[in-house]
Amino acid sequence: MINTALHNRWGKLGMAVLGAFIYSLGINLFVVPLGLFTGGMVGFCQLLRSVILGLLGIDSLTFDLSGIIYYILNVPLFIIAYRSLGHVFFRNTLICATAYTVFLSIVPVPAAPIVDDVLTGCLLGGVISGVGTGIALTSGCCGGGLDIIGLYMSKKGVKITMGQFGMFFNFVLFMLCWMLYDIPTMIYSVLNTIFHALALDRAHRQSVTVQVLIFTKLDNPDLDRYIMDNLHRGITRWEGKGVYTGQDTHILCVCMNKYEIEDLREALRKIDPQAFFIVQEGVHVSRNFERRLS
């Protein structure tokens, strides 16, 4: 069901909204009640929210003001996305960022932390929010913020990667946490961000590189053409022989991301139902391998 949704335009948007909801649960139920901050643009908005409430003399609200601040700061980034990154990307980003804002604003923040142990709260909040973000990214949607800035810089040829930019931004953010609050707040906020990143990497299937070995007895060029023309992946072919049957076997080696496996599985079912394949996760590929958002 999930794989079907991810290969349908409206299904992708629905999954992205679900991911935004899960993300908001992790943040509002576990991170915010502990007085901690997450990384990225949302973390900056949380810090800005805390400063604003402090200046106004307000201890807390029944909703998280950072969601509204996040949307306001994203408005100029929406313009950049519309002008430079394509109308489809802009539409998906607008829908996803709106979902983030709505859920961050309506998911109630508990008056007291759900879990008393701060480290446990960091872990739960980071994992849940990371899974939510991973689902949204797997759906081909972007929640705005640093993702838009990073993609824009990449398109303009700026000599800094999205990861490097994010690390620099978070370094400045957590230094501000240290100066405005205390060292424990900064340390636990960093831990929460690390847990979030680890969960995100596992949930975002496009970031999981796999090696696929396909074994087929048919010398059918349709499978080769499908992989190259539809998945746009290169193939290395070996010729082998079955030990028991003595029949010639064609072995195709392809590297792709985990998100593309279902497309390949469906193509094999149609082209050669007798073929089988082996998937090895966690392989490290460098040079001439395209990493994709969707």
Does residue 76 sit in the same domain as residue 219? Answer: no
Could you tell me if 117 and 246 lie in one domain?
Answer: no
Average pLDDT estimate for 100-111: 84
Task: Return all residues near 282 (Cβ < 8 A) that are at least 6 apart.
Answer: 208, 209, 210
The model's confidence at residue 5, banded by pLDDT at 50, 70 and 90, is very low
203 pLDDT above the threshold of 70: no
Contact 49, 65 (CB under 8 A): yes
Give the residue from 148, 171, 205 where a domain finishes: 205
**Residue 246 amino acid letter:** G
In the chain, the amino acid numbered 18 is: L
Residues 189 and 266 in one domain: no
Please tell me whether residues 199 and 215 are part of one structural domain: no
Same domain as 259, residue 161: no
Residue 13 pLDDT greater than 80, yes or no: no
Considering its fold, how many domains does the chain have in total? 2
Lowest mean pLDDT segment, chosen from 47-56, 216-225, 259-268: 259-268
Q: What is the CATH number of the domain that holds 217?
A: 3.30.70.120
Shared domain for 180 and 213, answered yes or no, is: no
| Same domain (yes/no): 151, 252 | no
- Examine the domain organization and report whether 13 and 84 are in the same domain: yes
The answer as to whether 151 is a domain residue is: yes
For the stretch 57-82, pLDDT in tens is 776 666 667 778 888 888 888 888 78
Q: Could you tell me where the beta strands, DSSP code E, fall in the chain?
A: 209-216, 236-241, 248-257, 276-281
- Domain end residue (candidates: 205, 228, 251): 205
96: tokens are 């996803």
Mean pLDDT over all residues of the chain? Answer: 77
**Residue 294 in domain:** no
pLDDT higher at 118 or 86: 118
Residues 178 and 45 in one domain: yes
Amino acid at 285: V
H/E element, 137? helix 118-138
> Which amino acid makes up residue 165?
F
Q: Report residue 269: phi and psi, to 5°.
A: -60, -35
Structure-token pair, residue 68:
């509204």
The boundaries of the domain holding residue 275 are 208-281
One domain for residues 76 and 164? yes
Q: Is the residue at 84 inside a domain?
A: yes
- Residue 291 in domain: no
